[in-house]
Amino acid sequence: MNQITITAPDDWHLHFRDGEMLNETVPATARCFKRAIVMPNLVPPVTTKEQALAYRQRILAARPAGNDFEPLMTLYLTNDTTPEDIIAAHSSTIPAAKLYPAGATTNSDAAVEGIESLYPVFEAMSKVGMLLLIHGEVTQAEVDIFDREKAFIDSHLAAIHAKFPDLKIVFEHITTADAVDFVLSGNANLAATITPQHLLLNRNDLLAGGIRPHNYCLPVLKRSTHQQRLREVVASGSNKFFLGTDSAPHAKHTKENSCGCAGCYSAWSAIELYAQVFEDLNAIDKLEGFASHYGADFYKMPRNTSTITLLRDTWTVPENVELANGDSIVPFYAGQLLKWKLA
């Protein structure tokens, strides 16, 4: 097989950042994705519909001329979020809100402490049909970083899903067999996104032979047995798992320092990386569902009608992406050879 044509895909979880960074990140995503769920963890965070809609306009201003890419905005939940905030955002066609446990990842210091205090907000989301997107990790220092996803399931997520069975929940960027099994055991309102880095890498790729800061992300890469479980479930074609890159750009100097940022900037090669994974798994026929169908179906949005074509054509991911301000980003899989290329 030398060519693959699929329904145009969507990215159901990514970070664009803001300001000058948008002129790099928006075109990189719009080259192949028709829609994307945009994370709200800016500084300050996007906590109101007005902020979300203003951010959307900044993203659209960075969209390439003639491109119809659509950013789908989200609200950042805090302990001050009210049911009225949810109703107002939903009426402005904001499809989802994001739950970050405080301190879980980049720019999450203003996020939620005491998740049960948000139960009235979850009730409102369930009633209006707004999706809850969850970064599923506990943040207590005494919990091993490799165990924090499972601990979140046991401490919080199982209870949320049981109490609000009609609330549509996306367990984002899952990394463990425990998360796979939990999503499979849940009802039809529970789904998950999976990133290219968690399908391609395990913690050896972060730590063996020296620390590789550009493979550092949160949730952190796990052992190979968990990676294999993720690969198995996407190869199975289950419609409860779909594409979400968690593409997260950081300037090179903020990754390569004594306390580097978490995040992999995969937008430059995302769909090609997924194609490589599915081919390696002898499941290339399952790529279209994962990339183009299941996310749209779960969000109750129409599937895209256009297509993209991937060609069997080797190319090398660039070592650096230069920004207008003189900074650079090291993209995920920098310097590595890929087997598929967007036509």
Per DSSP, 111 falls in state S
Does the annotation place 135 within a ligand binding site? yes
Does the annotation place 49 within a ligand binding site? no
- Look up tokens 């306390």; give the residue: 259
Does the annotation place 218 within a ligand binding site? yes
Does the annotation place 181 within a ligand binding site? no
List helix spans (H) across the chain.
22-30, 49-61, 83-91, 119-128, 148-152, 158-163, 177-185, 196-200, 204-207, 224-236, 252-255, 270-280, 287-288, 294-299
Does the annotation place 221 within a ligand binding site? no
Does the annotation place 16 within a ligand binding site? yes
Q: What is the DSSP string of 55-92?
A: HHHHHHHTSPTT---EEE-EEE--TT--HHHHHHHHHT
Does the annotation place 161 within a ligand binding site? no
Sheet strands side by side (includes 169-171): 74-76, 96-99, 131-134, 169-171, 190-194, 241-243
Residue from 166, 246, 285, 297 carrying the catalytic annotation: 246
Q: Is 285 a catalytic residue?
A: no
Does the annotation place 17 within a ligand binding site? yes
Does the annotation place 223 within a ligand binding site? no
Using CA atoms of 186, 189, 194, 199 in order, give the dihedral in degrees to the nearest 10. 30
Does the annotation place 241 within a ligand binding site? no
Q: Which residues sit in the known binding site for Zn(2+)?
A: 13, 15, 98, 135, 173, 246
Q: Which residues sit in the known binding site for substrate?
A: 15-17, 41, 135, 218, 250, 262
Q: Which residues are catalytic?
A: 246
Q: Which residues sit in the known binding site?
A: 13, 15-17, 41, 98, 135, 173, 218, 246, 250, 262
